[in-house]
Amino acid sequence: MEETPRFTTRRRMLQAGSLAAAASLGAASQARAQDKIAPEMVMYQTTPKDGNKCSACQHFQPPNACALVSGTISPNGWCGVFAPKA
Span 22-55, pLDDT tens digits: 666 555 545 554 689 999 999 999 999 999 999 9
Q: Give the pLDDT band of residue 71 (cuts 50, 70, 90).
A: very high
Which of 62, 58, 65, 61 is closest to 81 using CA atoms?
58
What is the 3-state secondary structure of the chain? CCCCCCCCCHHHHHHHHHHHHHHHHHHHHHHHHHCCECHHHHCCECCCECCECHHHECCEECCCEECCECCCCCCCCECCCCCECC
pLDDT of residue 86: 87
The answer on 26 and 50 residing in a single domain is: no
pLDDT of residue 63: 98
Average pLDDT over residues 60-67: 97
Taking the CA of residue 15 as centre, how many other CA atoms within 13 Å lie in the half-sphere pointing to its CB?
5
The answer on 44 and 13 residing in a single domain is: no
Domain housing 67: 38-86
pLDDT of residue 33: 46
Instruction: Report the predicted TM-score, pTM, of the whole model to 2 decimal places.
Output: 0.60
Q: Within a domain: residue 2?
A: no
The answer on 64 and 49 residing in a single domain is: yes
How far is 69 from 15, CA to CA, in rounded Å? Answer: 36
Q: What is the CATH number of the domain that holds 75?
A: 4.10.490.10
